[in-house]
Amino acid sequence: MLRQVLNMKKLGFSAVTLAFTVVWVVSPSLEAAASAGRGATGLGSSTGTTQHGSKADPAPVKKAYPTFGQVDRVAPELDRLIPAGARLEKLAGGFVWTEGPLWNARAHTLLFSDIPRNVIFEWKEGLGTRDFLYPSGYTGAAPRGGEVGANALTFDGQGRLVFCAQGDRSLVRLDAEGRRTTLADYYLDRRFNSPNDLVYKSNGDLYFTDPPYGLEGHNDDPKKELLFNGVYLLRASGQVVLLTRDLTFPNGLAFSPDEKTLYLSVSDPKRPVIMAYGVRSDGTLGPGRVFFDATALAAKGLPGLPDGMKVDVKGNLFATGPGGVLVLTPQGELLGTINTGETTANCAWGGDDGTTLYITAHTYLCRIKTSTKGRLP
């Protein structure tokens, strides 16, 4: 039995901190991993589950963070998006595999996942990092390995946390009382592989990818029920619509500012590309085209494959891939790379004005200040 602590005030709710006993039986390996996860956050971390701003919290302090990496500029147009002298700051470290960064504008905090540890963490300026939700993506009783934790995180139109629960093979919503609601876990009576990334359209439709990474054997796992790795639409009505089954390893996804184009990354080492699809009036997708081919970058031995991505207000794509975060114009021209030197999984806009790009790079949480901004969930 494990005590799960969920601080809903950090999501902007008026409710006090909720602590309740969860009757899930958690495997010793997962419990040990979570114990290692809490406090194993390296740079400026704090431990425990005390609510930010409570009497037990230390006062926020201004901190100078170590810098690393570099911005590799390919075209001069990048200077209008990332100013000269901008440095990549390392905010926290000591994780296993960071993913799913999500800025909470109401609480001025950043949520992110450590998938192998099955934990969602929270970072706050001047206070550091602490565990926010455990277990996150796998609530089963049977011991298992693999990428079990929550992956991508977002908020719905009512400010509720929605995430991809890889180990539970479902999309999950967390409400103000701390209750989990499964939004979708089947397509045509077959369980999803392991939902990976998700994005809401302004009308409330939820788009998500379903590669096999949360299955221990990936495509060869005997528990895999679907014969493909799909991209789906979960309508506000609850209907699940298969959009495409033609991508080998669909991963990150993002809409253009006008929502007429959906970008999809393919994390296939044999064909590492970012695809672009026109969005029809009914929300389904038209024919796809290769928006950017990362094969040449991967051939250089740069770490990473196309993964999570975000779009700025001007339609430029900030897409993780070989070398770090690739900065692409709406026409697919590479302007440069935020070179982390690490396998980089995802990024998110945040900060008070939406101009800071937060990045999850292997074992680190990082950020860089930009001259552009993105839409916050």
Retrieve residue 29's tokens: 């390996």
* Predicted local confidence at residue 347, as pLDDT: 98
| Residue where the block lists tokens 């109401």 | 106
Q: Find residue 360's DSSP bridge partners.
A: 346, 365
Give the other-Cβ count within 10 Å of 6's Cβ.
Answer: 25
* Nearest residue to 312 (alpha-carbon basis) of 328, 331, 290, 324: 328
Domain boundaries, the chain: 2-50+94-300
pTM attached to this predicted model? 0.86
Encode burial over 323-361: b for 16+ CB neighbours within 10 A, e otherwise: bbbbbbbbeeebbbbbbbebbbbbbbbbbeebbbbbbbb
CB 317 within 8 A of CB 263: yes
- The model's pLDDT over 328-345, given as tens digits with 9 standing for 90+, comes to 999 999 999 999 999 999
- The model's pLDDT over 85-134, given as tens digits with 9 standing for 90+, comes to 999 999 999 999 999 999 999 999 999 999 999 999 999 999 999 999 99
Q: How far apart are CA 102 and CA 311, in angstroms?
A: 14
Confidence of residue 12 (pLDDT cuts 50, 70, 90): very low
Q: What class is the 2-50+94-300 domain?
A: mainly beta
Residue 312 predicted with pLDDT over 80: yes
Residue 196 predicted with pLDDT over 80: yes
Q: ω before 269 within 30° of 0 (cis)?
A: no
Residue 56 predicted with pLDDT over 80: no
| Residues 80/81/82/88 CA torsion (nearest 10 deg) | 180
- The model's pLDDT over 198-233, given as tens digits with 9 standing for 90+, comes to 999 999 999 999 999 999 999 999 999 999 999 999
**What percent of the chain has pLDDT above 90?**
80
Identify the weakest region by mean pLDDT among 1-15, 75-89, 142-156.
1-15
Identify the helix (H) or strand (E) that includes residue 205.
none
More confident residue, 170 or 50: 170
Q: Find residue 123's DSSP bridge partners.
A: 110, 129
Residue 271 predicted with pLDDT over 50: yes
CB 277 within 8 A of CB 287: yes
Residue 313 predicted with pLDDT over 80: yes
E strands in 280-329: 285-293, 309-311, 317-321, 324-328
Residue 55 predicted with pLDDT over 70: no
Retrieve residue 374's tokens: 């993105």
Residue 10 predicted with pLDDT over 50: no
- The model's pLDDT over 14-45, given as tens digits with 9 standing for 90+, comes to 322 222 223 232 222 223 333 333 333 344 33
Identify the helix (H) or strand (E) that includes residue 299.
helix 295-299
Q: Look over the chain and give the mean of its residue pLDDT values, rounded to a whole number.
A: 87
CB 248 within 8 A of CB 213: no
Confidence of residue 279 (pLDDT cuts 50, 70, 90): very high
